[in-house]
Amino acid sequence: MFCYQCEQTAKGQGCTKIGVCGKQPDVAALQDLLTYLLKGLSQVATEGRRVGVKDRQVDVFTCEALFTTLTNVNFDPEDIIRFIRKTVELREALKAKVKAAGGSVDFGDGPAVFQPGSTQAEMVAQGEQVGFDKDPEPDEDIRSLKHTVIFGLRGLAAYADHAQILGREDDAVYAAVHEILADTVRTDLSLNDWVARTLKVGEVNIRAMELLDEANTGTYGHPVPTKVPLGHRKGKAILVSGHDLKDLEELLKQTEGKGIDVYTHGEMLPCHGYPELKKYGHLYGHYGTAWQNQAKEFSQFPGAILMTTNCIQKPQDAYKGNIFTSGVVGWPGVPHISNRDFTPVIQRALELPGFTDEVDKGSVMVGFARNTVLGVADKVIEAVKGGAIRHFFLVAGCDGAKPGRNYYTEFVEKVPQDCVVLTLACGKFRFFDKDLGTIGGLPRLMDVGQCNDAYSAVQIALALAKAFDVDVNQLPLSLVLSWYEQKACAILLSLLHLGIKDIRLGPSLPAFITPNVLKVLVENFDIKPISTPDEDLKAILAA
Ligand code: FS2
Ligand code: SF4
C-alpha cells in the first residue's frame, strides 16, 4: 500500500505497510481502485454535460464515494467494493445516455473502460497498480499538484455531500468536480495548468461550503451563544460524534421521551448552538475531546455511541458492542445504521447503565458563527478602532496525536490580553475549556463551529475587511492553522484562492507537497510553517 494523504502519514512520507490510522493494505488498494474508477465516471459525466446529459444520481454518488476515501471514514472493504461496483454500473448506464445524446464514448483504455475483477483479491491487486505511488506522471511537481487536487476534491466532496443531505446542491459544483477529476487522467497539462486547477478546487470548495452553511443555518437556524455543560447527569445516554447535523436531529426526535440524554462528542460540539437542535431538552452536554482520544473516552462512556462521519478509529473491546456507524462511515463488524433508523442505537443505550451520578465539569460557550459575530460588528469595530482589541487570531483546524500540536495550546495561552482568538474544528479541544475572559463585553475565545463551518469564519473576515474598507490581508487578523485530513486541504486551497496570505500552517507540511510547489506557495502566498508560539506571536504582532 501507499497512502500519504494525511498529516500523520508514516515518517512524514507515506504509509506503506499499514496506515497509521489503522487502514489495512487491502482497504487502501480498494480505495485507490475506487478513486481510479471515479476518474473514469467523471470523464463520462463531463462528456455528458457537453451534450446536455446530467445525472444527479451520478453526481451525488461521486461525492459520497470520494467522501468514503477521506482519512478515518471507512475501513470496511465490503463497503468500498460496493462503491466500486456501483461506479461501474453508473458509468455504463451514463455512457448509454451520453451516446444516445450524440456524445463520444471513446475514452481510450483508461479508467472509463476499466473492468474491476470479480473478487476482492482481484480488485486489491488492481488497486495496487493504480495507487498514488504508481502515478505515471513523470514530473514530480505536476504529480504533487495532481495529488493535491485529488485530496482537495475529497474534502470538497465531503462538504458537498453534507449540504446535499440537507437539500442544498449546485450543479456547478458537481460539474467542476467531474471536470477536474477527469483532468487528472490527462497527460497534456502543464505545471501552470495544474496550479490553476489546484486553486479552482479552492474556489469550488467555497461554493460547496456556502451551500453547507445555507443548509445548516436554513434548516437549524443561525447558531446562538449557548453554554454547554462538560459534565453529565444521571440517566441513559447516547454519544454522537462526527459532523452530521441531520443524524443528530433524527436521533433527538427518535429518543424524545425515552429517558435518554444525548451528548455530543468531538466536532458535534457546535450543534448545541443551533436553535432547532438546542430546543431538545435531552441534548444535554458535551463529552470528551477530539477524535484521537476516542479509545480512552469511549471506553468510559456508559451508553451507546454513534459515529456519523470522520473520524473513527479502531473500536476497542471495551466499547465494541456499543458503537454504531452511519452515513459513509464504516468499520468491519460495527453495525451500520441505514436510513436514519436509530432503533438499534436506542435499544443499546437502554440496555447499558448510563450515568449513575451527576458530575459538574464546568461548561464551554459555543455559537459564535458569522451571524453572532457580525451581529456585534459595531462593538468589534469600535473595540479595534479604540485600541481595546489589537489583533484577531484564527487558531483553527484539526487535532491529532502528534506532540507538535501542543504548539496550538501554548499559542492560545500566550496570546496577549488585548487580542481575540477565533477558533473552529477539532483542533480547539487543545484549549476550548480555557477561560480567556472578555474584552469590551466580547469573549476573548469564540468558537465559530466545526471544520465544516470554515465558510462562516471566511465571511466574518470578509465582512470586517469591508467594514474597515481594507483588503482582507490588511486586517489585524492572522490565521494559525493545523491540518490533518483532506477537508483541511480543501479549506487551505479555498484560502489560497481568496488570496489570503501569511497563513501559518502546522504541525508539519503535507508529504505530497514537493519543495518546488512549496516554493510557489511561499512566494505567492507567503505561507509559513509554524515555528514556536513565542517567535510566531512576536513576528505577527510586530508586523
Ligand atoms: Fe477533526 Fe477529524 Fe473536522 Fe477533520 S474530527 S480531523 O476529519 O473533520 O476536523
Ligand atoms: Fe496513512 Fe493517513 Fe493514509 Fe491513514 S489516511 S493510511 S494515516 S496517510
Question: What ipTM was assigned to the predicted interfaces of this complex?
Answer: 0.97
In this structure, are 339 and 393 located in the same domain?
A: no
So what's the pLDDT on residue 403? 85
6 is in an annotated binding site: yes
Bridge partners (DSSP) listed for residue 393:
421, 478
- Looking up cell 465494541 gives 320
Q: How many Å apart are CA 107 and CA 517, to the nearest integer?
A: 30
What is the bridge-based pairing of β-strands 445-449 and 304-307?
Answer: unpaired
pLDDT tens figures, 475-529: 999 999 999 999 999 999 999 999 999 999 999 999 999 999 999 999 999 999 9
| Residue bearing the CA closest to ligand 1, atom 2 | 311
pLDDT band at residue 423 using 50, 70 and 90 as cut-offs: very high
Whether the CB of 327 sits within 6 Å of ligand 2: no
140 is in an annotated binding site: no
In this structure, are 154 and 66 located in the same domain?
A: yes
Q: Which amino acid is at 535?
A: E
Whether the CB of 209 sits within 6 Å of ligand 2: no
Q: Is the residue at 359 inside a domain?
A: no
In the listed set 351, 384, 400, which residue is the last one of a domain according to the structure? 351
Helix, strand or coil, per DSSP, at residue 483: coil
| pLDDT beyond 90 at 440 | no
Q: Is the residue at 356 inside a domain?
A: no
In the listed set 219, 253, 271, which residue is the last one of a domain according to the structure? 219
Residue 145: which residues within 8 A CB-CB, separation 6 or more?
191, 194, 195, 197, 198, 517
Burial class (CB in 10 A: 0-12, 13-18, 19+), 542: exposed
∠ CA 147-5-331 to the nearest 5 degrees? 130
Percent of the chain with pLDDT over 70: 100
Cα–ligand 2 centroid distance for 487 (angstroms)? 14
Bridge partners (DSSP) listed for residue 241:
307
Cα–ligand 2 centroid distance for 447 (angstroms)? 28
Whether the CB of 487 sits within 6 Å of ligand 1: yes
Cα–ligand 1 centroid distance for 475 (angstroms)? 28
Query: Nearest bound ligand to CA 12?
Result: 2
Mean pLDDT (the chain) is 97
When pLDDT is averaged across residues 111-125 and rounded to a whole number, the result is: 98
Cα–ligand 1 centroid distance for 425 (angstroms)? 7
Cα–ligand 2 centroid distance for 250 (angstroms)? 31
CB 152, CB 197: distance < 8 Å = no
Whether the CB of 132 sits within 6 Å of ligand 2: no
Q: What ligand 1 atom has the least distance to the C-alpha of 400? A: 6
Query: Nearest bound ligand to CA 2?
Result: 2
In this structure, are 114 and 205 located in the same domain?
A: yes
Read off the CATH number of the domain in which 189 is found: 1.20.1270.20
So what's the pLDDT on residue 441? 87
DSSP letter for each residue of 201-259? HHHHHHHHHHHHHHHHHHHH-----EEEESSB-SBEEEEEESS-HHHHHHHHHHHTTTT
| Residue bearing the CA closest to ligand 1, atom 3 | 451
Whether the CB of 453 sits within 6 Å of ligand 1: no
Whether the CB of 267 sits within 6 Å of ligand 1: yes
In the listed set 172, 192, 219, which residue is the last one of a domain according to the structure? 219
- Looking up cell 487535532 gives 399
Query: Nearest bound ligand to CA 162?
Result: 1
| pLDDT beyond 90 at 359 | yes
Residues in the chain: 543
Q: Which amino acid is at 241?
A: S
Q: Of 69, 181, 65, 80, whose CA–CA distance to 124 is shortest?
A: 80
pLDDT band at residue 164 using 50, 70 and 90 as cut-offs: very high
Q: What ligand 1 atom has the least distance to the C-alpha of 266? A: 5
pTM for the whole thing?
0.98
Residue 338: give the domain boundaries.
Answer: 226-351
So what's the pLDDT on residue 193? 98
Read off the CATH number of the domain in which 295 is found: 3.40.50.2030
CB 178, CB 87: distance < 8 Å = no
| pLDDT beyond 90 at 287 | yes
282 is in an annotated binding site: no
In this structure, are 58 and 164 located in the same domain?
A: yes
Cα–ligand 2 centroid distance for 421 (angstroms)? 30
In this structure, are 214 and 236 located in the same domain?
A: no
Whether the CB of 20 sits within 6 Å of ligand 2: yes
Q: Is the residue at 361 inside a domain?
A: no
DSSP letter for each residue of 93-148? HHHHHHHHTT-----TTSTTT----SSHHHHHHHHHHSSGGG-----HHHHHHHHH
pLDDT tens figures, 460-474: 999 999 999 999 999
